[in-house]
Structure 1
Amino acid sequence: MSDIKKMYSTILGDNFPMDMTISFGEQKLVYRKKTWAIPGADGNLEERGVRYGENPDQEAALYELASGNLQLGDCQFIEAGNGLVSSIKVEDMLQVGKHPGKINLTDIDNGLNIIKYLMKKPAAVILKHNNPCGAAWDTSLAIAFNRALRCDRIAAFGGAVIMNRPCDLETAALLAENYLEVVCAPDFEEGTLEILARRKNLRIIKIAGIDRLADYEKFRFIDFKSLIDGGIIVQQSPVNSIRSGDDLLPATTTRKGEDFACERQPTEQEVEDMIFGWAVEHGVTSNSVLYVKDGCTVGIGTGEQDRVGVAEIAVHKAYIKYADQLSFDRFGIPFSSLELEIAAGKQDAAVRDEILAKAKTDRAGLPGCVMISDAFFPFRDGADIGIEQGITAILQAGGSMRDDETIKACNEAEPQVAMMYTGQRSFKH
């Protein structure tokens, strides 16, 4: 059997070429492989590219668009010279104990994919295995990061944090209290690197282009999906068209000659949370359902086959994470560690029961949330899951044959629930 611990600490290397050219008819895109000279365990510089792929036995490479200007139909794609993750230089790696792996880079990239829509306020997104486990925007970066962390401290362990403002001292102190793989920001203020350096294996990466990330909202890129037979599916990247309340559509439909309309309209705060939630939704694997409140995720359900199931999973996760945070607030330990202490006779079981009772009483913070669905609800049962937990508004694509049933669910709720449509779906696979 191979030594898997050694595999994780070894740079695999790769046999991919230094240059790659992709032709679209007469148009050519030229890519150059990224490598970085980083000190190895012996102190000598090692010029290598991506550490390894999704697993330690998979070679991988990162390529930066070096030249070419692709235009297909009316769509002009992102041009060379606008690199973000693919343009990271060795001097941008302010602290790096080892070469980055493929997952580190894709987590950063998906964090940027989300946060490019959240540039108007200080925002932080925490990702794990290319899905957000917590996201928030607020009046300061420290508050935004702390709220994102409290959404899911469990999944944030070993995660990547992407921020849209320079890291300040207060935020750095909060970051340093947690085990993270990557911290990425447009800059790091004086004194922050010394604080973050307490975490020796933390990769600290500066991407100055985050400052102009809002410019990337309308950029498209080519998305490749390779098939097991060597074939390739090519598509345009999606664009989020829901950027303000004016982009939302009223929840109305006609079925069998009868008109239906959602009776309650969303409040200003609910609209704000719809815009925030739809931005986060663009980085979540489908099928997905999110619960958000006051500019912060409360529960994130990802990658399920059915919509009612993912709505239930998002609720279930919210309760688990809420109990975990209550345990941490009270005892400074995760809920799972508290249960071990109870089993060992170091804590009274009544403490656990109190925490679970409070999570149930508070309904895990779900009352007042906006429910976000990346596509339409084919049946009302998905919406009913959220309504039962006390959500006050829903944002979904609309377009189901049974939209009338979901509208009825909102109108029949006590108190009534607001609902708006996006007119677009946000699938990500």
Structure 2
Amino acid sequence: MKALISVYYKEGVEELAFALKELGYQLVSSGGTAEYLKNKGLEVVEVEDITKFPQMFDGRVKTLHPVIHGGILMRDWVEKDLEEAKRFGIEPIDVVVVNLYPFEEKLSEGLEEKELMEFIDIGGPALIRASAKNFYRVLVVCDPEDYGWVAQKLREGSISLKDRKYLALKAFSMTAYYDSLISRALSDLFEMNGVFPKFAIPVKSLGELRYGENPHQRAWLLENPLESLGITKAEVLHGKEMSFNNYLDADSSLRLVSQFQEPACVIVKHNNPCGVAIGRSPSEAFLKAKESDPESAFGGIVAFNQSVDLETAELLKELFLEVVLAPDYEERALEVLKTKKNLRIIQFFGFSHYWDIKKVSGGYLLQEEDTLDYQKLEVVSQRKPTIEEMEDMLFAFKVCKYAKSNAVVIAKGGRTLGIGTGNTSRVDSLRCAIQKAQRFGFDLNGAVMASEAFLPFSDSVELCAEVGISAIIQPGGSIRDKEVISACDRHGIALVFTGTRHFRH
């Protein structure tokens, strides 16, 4: 019986190697792995002694040989395989322990292109895939986490067919991940970021969540290693386990609050902003955001773009919240927040842009992320907006970008007064936003309205005029733009076109 051991990550592999040796396996290895095992007191046969061929090109070619791959791929239940193996002097290899060059780790080291290529493993994936393909006879171990239990089961003689299938599936998953990582990383490196007819995106599981959007759905948190920042990279400092919905809402709030330079607070409910504000301090921003919609703020997700201080923490403590996110927390603020046992406290470090992927039946939709705020700021009305109106319009348009379509945002003084989202009619979204603002006692005279897509009719302008909204920002581009502009001029409303739509379905 033979066991081939060729690993980059060597620590701990001797546990499995000793178990194999005790059971009578001949250990076959090469290069650094052979030296490592010998130093641990194990007798090892070099690969070159079996292949009768030296390793070449600084180790680029060593196990890519018929004696090795034949020993792995031969089927002991096929008579012809046994005859050919005997004819060519190929002996079966029964266990293969392999892991791969650290391409993923080397991506972050800023290596030159040719240096990085040296960390693309060729022989390793070939050995792993060959072993996994022949799992009925060959036991493949590609993850150091499996050394311990595999060694124990080998000693007990209890390796089952289910164990073999599990290890084979893990092996194929690892090589698929490895190849997809290389493919996508090189597409960035070579500046060829389009989508080939067949391609893969690398993801690795960070663990199973309690459940999905609903308790009857299973769910997992997956991480893309090519994205250096984001909600999957955030640190949970305190509180209950994050749920599927928590992650969705937290990501939405993180993205929106990161759009502002001044102290800002975003409150999200069901993946929609319900209160957004900027202020002179995080505490002022929070109070303004909460007062925008105090009903929806209950049980919400609250995000800040600056460190949470003690004053802000005391305010947060008074409200039931699911999650608080911030780039940092003062020590005393953290102590106050941690008195709420179930409150999830998250420290984030920013987010990065990648592909936006949505599931459809039979496949997926993939698009670039929406990273553009606007193409232009064109005043198309007779009345020009004031400086204050323009500031509020730009603020509201940013918020609109992160609300579900059809989306309308009413704002004044650096905070939202009413947000209408998810309606099938844009004017209905506006009605919802106005009703919310009025229900909480806001004076809409001098407020601004933002729409994430063009106004198809002048009815929205008429509604704005009725309540005193003085300025509107929208992409423009409707066949009825002239009608909308005329209505604004009739009511003395300033109108700005951005040339950029922000649908968010």
Q: Aligned-pair RMSD on alpha carbons? A: 2.1
From 15, 29, 33, give the equivalent of 2:205. Answer: 33
TM-score, with structure 2 as normaliser: 0.60
Corresponding residue for residue 309 of structure 1: 428
From 410, 421, 426, give the equivalent of 2:497. Answer: 421
Deviations 1:305-336 (A, max 9, x none): 1111111111112222x1xxxxxxxxxxxxxx
Matched, 1:51 2:210: yes
Alignment of 1:75-114 (within 5 A): 80-88=226-234, 92-97=235-240, 99-114=241-256
CA distance in 1, matches of 2:409, 2:295: 17
CA distance in 1, matches of 2:296, 2:437: 12
CA distance in 2, matches of 1:203, 1:290: 28
CA distance in 2, matches of 1:385, 1:81: 43
Task: For residue 222 of structure 1, report the CA deviation from its aligned partner.
Answer: 1.4
Runs (5+) with no aligned partner, structure 2: 1-165, 184-194
Q: Equivalent residue of 1:29, what SS?
A: coil
Asked if structure 2 preserves the Cα contact closer than 8 Å seen for 1:240 and 1:279, the reply is no
Asked if structure 1 preserves the Cα contact closer than 8 Å seen for 2:357 and 2:365, the reply is yes
Corresponding residue for residue 137 of structure 2: none
Asked if structure 2 preserves the Cα contact closer than 8 Å seen for 1:158 and 1:179, the reply is yes
Matched, 1:233 2:361: no
Bigger relative contact order (CA 8 A; separation at least 6): 1
From 234, 250, 257, give the equivalent of 2:379. Answer: 250
Corresponding residue for residue 347 of structure 1: none
Task: For residue 50 of structure 1, report the CA deviation from its aligned partner.
Answer: 2.1
CA distance in 1, matches of 2:233, 2:431: 40
From 475, 479, 483, give the equivalent of 1:405. Answer: 483
Task: For residue 28 of structure 1, report the CA deviation from its aligned partner.
Answer: 4.5
Task: For residue 193 of structure 1, report the CA deviation from its aligned partner.
Answer: 1.7
CA distance in 2, matches of 1:241, 1:131: 18
Task: For residue 373 of structure 1, report the CA deviation from its aligned partner.
Answer: 0.6
CA distance in 1, matches of 2:421, 2:254: 19
Asked if structure 1 preserves the Cα contact closer than 8 Å seen for 2:374 and 2:499, the reply is no
Q: Equivalent residue of 2:306, what SS?
A: coil
Matched, 1:388 2:466: yes
Asked if structure 1 preserves the Cα contact closer than 8 Å seen for 2:379 and 2:494, the reply is no
CA distance in 2, matches of 1:189, 1:365: 36
Code of the residue aligned with 2:250 in structure 1: it is I
Asked if structure 2 preserves the Cα contact closer than 8 Å seen for 1:242 and 1:275, the reply is no
Asked if structure 2 preserves the Cα contact closer than 8 Å seen for 1:162 and 1:184, the reply is yes
- Structure richer in strand, relative to its length: 1
Matched, 1:167 2:304: no
Code of the residue aligned with 1:276 in structure 2: it is F
Corresponding residue for residue 201 of structure 1: 342
Matched, 1:319 2:465: no
Alignment of 1:226-375 (within 5 A): 226-227=359-360, 229-242=361-374, 247-251=376-380, 262-320=381-439, 322=440, 359=441, 364-375=442-453
Task: For residue 81 of structure 1, report the CA deviation from its aligned partner.
Answer: 4.8
Deviations 1:147-206 (A, max 9, x none): 000001101111000110010011101100100000010111021122112322110111
Corresponding residue for residue 326 of structure 1: none
Corresponding residue for residue 74 of structure 1: none
CA distance in 2, matches of 1:267, 1:165: 29
Q: Percent identity?
A: 40
- Structure richer in helix, relative to its length: 2
Task: For residue 93 of structure 1, report the CA deviation from its aligned partner.
Answer: 1.6
Task: For residue 103 of structure 1, report the CA deviation from its aligned partner.
Answer: 0.9
CA distance in 2, matches of 1:29, 1:412: 53
Asked if structure 1 preserves the Cα contact closer than 8 Å seen for 2:453 and 2:474, the reply is yes
Matched, 1:187 2:328: yes
Matched, 1:224 2:370: no
Code of the residue aligned with 1:109 in structure 2: it is D
Asked if structure 2 preserves the Cα contact closer than 8 Å seen for 1:33 and 1:62, the reply is yes
Q: Rate the CA distance shift 1:206–1:127 in 2: closer, same or farther, 3 A.
A: same
Code of the residue aligned with 2:239 in structure 1: it is V
CA distance in 1, matches of 2:210, 2:262: 34
Matched, 1:176 2:317: yes
Task: For residue 411 of structure 1, report the CA deviation from its aligned partner.
Answer: 1.2
Deviations 1:349-384 (A, max 9, x none): xxxxxxxxxx4xxxx322111100111111100121
CA distance in 2, matches of 1:242, 1:140: 27
CA distance in 2, matches of 1:163, 1:147: 13
Asked if structure 2 preserves the Cα contact closer than 8 Å seen for 1:133 and 1:152, the reply is yes
Runs (5+) with no aligned partner, structure 1: 1-14, 36-48, 67-79, 252-261, 323-358
Asked if structure 2 preserves the Cα contact closer than 8 Å seen for 1:134 and 1:152, the reply is yes
Task: For residue 250 of structure 1, report the CA deviation from its aligned partner.
Answer: 2.4
CA distance in 1, matches of 2:475, 2:229: 32
CA distance in 2, matches of 1:61, 1:230: 20
Task: For residue 264 of structure 1, report the CA deviation from its aligned partner.
Answer: 0.4
Task: For residue 27 of structure 1, report the CA deviation from its aligned partner.
Answer: 5.6
CA distance in 1, matches of 2:452, 2:300: 24
Q: Equivalent residue of 1:94, what SS?
A: strand
Task: For residue 143 of structure 1, report the CA deviation from its aligned partner.
Answer: 0.3
Deviations 1:63-118 (A, max 9, x none): 1112xxxxxxxxxxxxx251221123xxx222122x21111111111112212211
Asked if structure 2 preserves the Cα contact closer than 8 Å seen for 1:151 and 1:297, the reply is yes
Code of the residue aligned with 2:329 in structure 1: it is F
Asked if structure 1 preserves the Cα contact closer than 8 Å seen for 2:455 and 2:484, the reply is yes
Code of the residue aligned with 2:370 in structure 1: it is P
Code of the residue aligned with 2:236 in structure 1: it is M
From 235, 257, 263, give the equivalent of 1:115. Answer: 257
Number of corresponding residues: 319
